[in-house]
Amino acid sequence: MIDKYYVQPDDELEDMQPQLKRALEMSDEDFAKLSPEVRNLFAARRKLGHSWLDDYEVVVEVTSNGGGCTCGVTPGQRVVFDMRHKVKTALSDAPLCVHMLSPILSIFYMTFDRAAEGLNPMTCIWRYHECPHTGGDHGASKARTYVYLRRADTHEVVEDRIIGPAAEP
């Protein structure tokens, strides 16, 4: 039996090309050069739908700052990223502190792959982080953050381990 997500040799992924080209900044020529293996990987993402990159956001919310964070972050402030890992400045109110955000890089290395496969990239392991900048107080003033996934349209927090395409209106 052939897997329904397997790409046939003549499948040009027409239904996915516009979204993939935009998301990955590919030209028509780049897309034409994709190997059958890469096409198979993209075809497997059909089960999630084409809009997942726009359906979700990664939110880094400050939970504490120890009272002396030198960047000035305060509990409740957020930095919101789209699934392409770009800051959504209109939805963010925390200062962009490299110390606070550096631990979040590990999430970005895996979010795209996990979400593309329909899995929530925020597992229990990856939710809580702290600033690596210890300072003279031995870390007592470190900012601590909670990272979560939410729907871009409703801002509803997504706790499900398996995510899916947006419901059709």
- What tens digit of pLDDT does each residue of 37-65 get? 777 767 766 655 657 778 889 999 999 98
Mean of per-residue pLDDT scores for the chain: 80
Whole-structure pTM over 0.75, yes or no? no
Q: What angle do CA 150, 155, 159 make, to 5 degrees?
A: 35
pLDDT digit string, tens, across residues 78-122: 999 988 888 999 999 999 888 888 888 777 777 767 776 777 777
Q: Indicate whether 169 pLDDT > 80.
A: no
